[in-house]
Structure 1
Amino acid sequence: HDLWIIFDEIYERLVYGTTTHRNIVSLAPEVMDRTIQINGVSKAFAMTGWRIGYALAPGWLAPKIGAIQGHLTSNACSIAQWASLGALREAGQDVERMREEFSRRRDIMTGLLREMPLISFEEPRGAFYVFVNVQKAIGGTSEGKLLEDDGMFCEALLERELVAAVPGTAFLAPGYIRLSYANSEEEIREGMSRLKRFLQRIETK
C-alpha cells in the first residue's frame, strides 16, 4: 500500500538471552525508500538528560525533517552533540556492561514477581521494563478502596506502599502495569517486597 514506516530503534542494544535486534530494512530492503529510522542516546548510553536523538531517512526527506525539527524544538547544544558522538563511537564496551547488568536485574525482578499472587507476565527480551498483568486484581479492594482499573491499582500501590508503576492504559494495554528495573538491586528487592505485600492484602471477589 506504499505506507511509510517509522522504525524506532531506541532499545536496539538492550536485548537479552538469545534475542537479537533486526533492522526492518535488513528484513525487507524494498521498504528502504519509504522508511524513517529513529534512534537516540538516552536509553542504551544512559544519557537521558542530554536530549539527543537522530533519524535516518531518504536523502530528499532528511532536510525537510531537519527544518521542521529546528522550528519545533530549536537545536541541541554543541556539547550534547559532541558527547553523543563520543558515546556512539567509543562507548560500545560500556553499553555491553550495562546490558549485562540490566539482564541481571531483570532476572532478579522477574524471579521475585513469580512468587506473587494475582499477576502474570511475559519475560522481557529487551529494554528495562516488565509489563505485568494485574487483571485478576482488578475489581478487588485494597483497604476498602475499589481497584476499578489499572490506574486505580497504581494509585493505591503508590499510596499504600510508595511504589510507583505506570498504568498499562497509557500504552494501550489496560489491565497491565509497567515496572522498571533501571534501578539498584537493593531498590528492586525492596520494591518487589512491597508489591508482594500489597497484592497479598487485596481482597478479591
Structure 2
Amino acid sequence: MSSSRISAAVAAIAPSATLAVDSKAKAMKAAGEPVIGFGAGEPDFPTPAHIVEAAVEACRDPKNHKYSPAGGLPELKQAIAEKTKRDSGLEVDPANILVTNGGKHAVYASFLTLIDPGDEVILPAPYWTTYPEPIGLAGGVTVPVVCDETTGYKATVEQLEAARTDRTKVLVFVSPSNPTGAVYSRDEVRAIGQWAVEHGIWVVTDEIYEHLVYGGNEFTSLPVEVPEIIDRCVVLNGVAKTYAMTGWRVGWMIAPNDVIKGATNLQSHSTSNVANVSQRAALAAVSGSLDDVVMMREAFDRRRQTIWKMLDAIDGVECLEPEGAFYAYPKLTGLYGRSLNGRTADNTLDLATIILEEAKVAIVPGEAFGTPGYARLSFALGDDDLAEGVQRISDLVSGS
C-alpha cells in the first residue's frame, strides 16, 4: 500500500509558474511595495460594457438559475460556430463544439479524451506552462521540440519529423504563441499541417490569440489551410484574451463527433455545465461587434513596440519583435554573472528573483516554458507601468 497522501499523478503536476509569479507580486504589492507585474497573461481592460449588461440581464432570468446542457447552451454553440466561420473561415457544426470552463479546461478535456498511456505528444518549446500537465495526467509523454530566436521561436517540419516516433499521436500547434508572440506564416502552417496529415498525427491547435496579430503578420487557422486534417484536429479557443474576460471562465473545443461526445461525457461527470451567466456573457461577446477588440489590439500594438524596443536596448538583453499575442520573450543569458545590486545569477529562475526583489518587477522565467535563459513579459498592462517597469530593469542592469 502506498504511504503517500496524494496520488502520484497529482503529485507530479507542477504549480503554474505564471500564477505563482503573479501571486507573489500581488502579495508584495498588498504589503505596500511598488511592484509592477509582467507576469499574468490577461488584458488590463475591463470586460466591454455590452457583455457585462448581458450578464446582468442573465442573472435576473430564472432559467439561468438551473442546470443546463453539460456541453453548453445550444444558442452559444450556434454563435461560436458562426463566430468561427467569421473569424477564421472554418465551418463547423454546433454539434462539434463543447463549451468548457475556460481555455485550460478545454486543454485538459482534449488531452484526457485523446491520449492513452504511453502516447507521445510533440510540443514545440517555448510552450505555455499548462500544456505538459494534462498530457502527463493522461499518461502521455511530452516530447519537447526546442525552438529559439534563430528561427523566430517557430518549429520547422524537419524538427517535428526528427521528434516523431511510432508512439507519436498528437502535435500541439499554437499561433500566435504564448509565451513568445511568434506567428507562423501561411506557408509554414500549411507545411506543418500537411506533415501531420501524411503521418496520421492529431493536431491540437490553440487559437485563443487569433485576433491579436500585429504589423504585416496574419493569423492562419491550420484546419482551414489544410482541410484534410479536420478529422484529426481539435481547435481550442475562448473569450478570455480577445474580449478581456479571463475571470468569466468560458472556453471551447471544436473536434470530430466522437471526440466531442467523449469530452462532453467527461465534462458531464466533472463539472456539468459552465455557469449559465458566464455563457450568456460569452454569447454577447462572440455574437457582438469587434469594435472593442480593435481598440484593445491597437493599445497592445503600441505597448508591443515600446516593450520590444526598450528591452532590446538593455545591454545583455536580446529581444525579438513580438508578432502576436501580448508577450515579449527576451533572451537574458547576457545578464548571467553580472552584478545586479551586488547580486549575481546563473539562471533565469534566480534572475527573476533578483529582478523582483531589487527592482520590484515581476517577470516569468523561461524555465516555466521549457527554455531556460529567457523570460516572458506580458505587455497587457498600462503604458506608464510598462515603461516604468522596463526602465527599472534597465536601471538595475546599468547600476544607475
TM-score, normalised to structure 2's length? 0.49
1:193 aligns with 2:360: no
Q: Distance in 1 between matches of 2:339 and 2:270?
A: 45
Q: Distance in 2 between matches of 1:73 and 1:137?
A: 46
**1:104-148, Cα deviation, whole Å (9 max, x unpaired):** 111121222232111011100001010011011123332332302
Query: What SS does the aligned partner of 1:61 have?
Result: helix
1:159 aligns with 2:341: no
Unaligned 5+ residue runs, structure 1?
Answer: none
Give aligned pairs, total.
Answer: 202
Larger mean Cα displacement after TM superposition, 32-41 or 73-82: 73-82
**1:7-47, Cα deviation, whole Å (9 max, x unpaired):** 10010110001111101012211111010000011111110
Q: Which residue of 2 aligns with 1:128?
A: 326
Q: 2:229 aligns with which of 24, 28, 31?
A: 31
Report percent identity of matched pairs. 37
Q: Distance in 2 between matches of 1:28 and 1:77?
A: 34
**Shift of residue 60 of structure 1?**
2.2
Structure with more contact order per residue of length (Cα contacts < 8 Å, sep ≥ 6): 2
**Shift of residue 74 of structure 1?**
4.1
**1:156-182, Cα deviation, whole Å (9 max, x unpaired):** 000001100000111112100111110
Q: 1:180 aligns with which of 370, 374, 378?
A: 378
Could you tell me whether the CA contact under 8 Å between 2:329 and 2:377 is conserved in 1?
yes
Q: Distance in 2 between matches of 1:180 and 1:89?
A: 28
Larger mean Cα displacement after TM superposition, 87-96 or 62-71: 62-71
Q: 1:2 aligns with which of 200, 203, 218?
A: 200
1:78 aligns with 2:254: no
Could you tell me whether the CA contact under 8 Å between 1:132 and 1:178 is conserved in 2?
yes
Unaligned 5+ residue runs, structure 2?
Answer: 1-198
Could you tell me whether the CA contact under 8 Å between 2:327 and 2:376 is conserved in 1?
yes
1:95 aligns with 2:263: no
1:35-114 alignment, distance < 5 Å: 35-114=233-312
**Shift of residue 66 of structure 1?**
1.5
Which runs of structure 1 show a deviation greater than 4 angstroms over 4 or more consecutive aligned residues?
none
Could you tell me whether the CA contact under 8 Å between 2:308 and 2:320 is conserved in 1?
no
Could you tell me whether the CA contact under 8 Å between 1:139 and 1:149 is conserved in 2?
no
Q: Distance in 2 between matches of 1:162 and 1:24?
A: 40
RMSD of aligned alpha carbons: 1.5
**Equivalent residue letter for 1:141:** S
Q: Distance in 1 between matches of 2:313 and 2:344?
A: 24
Query: What SS does the aligned partner of 2:235 have?
Result: strand
Q: Distance in 1 between matches of 2:365 and 2:269?
A: 33
Change beyond 3 A, Cα 1:199–1:71: farther
Query: What SS does the aligned partner of 2:257 have?
Result: coil
**Shift of residue 99 of structure 1?**
0.7
Query: What SS does the aligned partner of 1:6 have?
Result: strand
**Equivalent residue letter for 1:2:** G
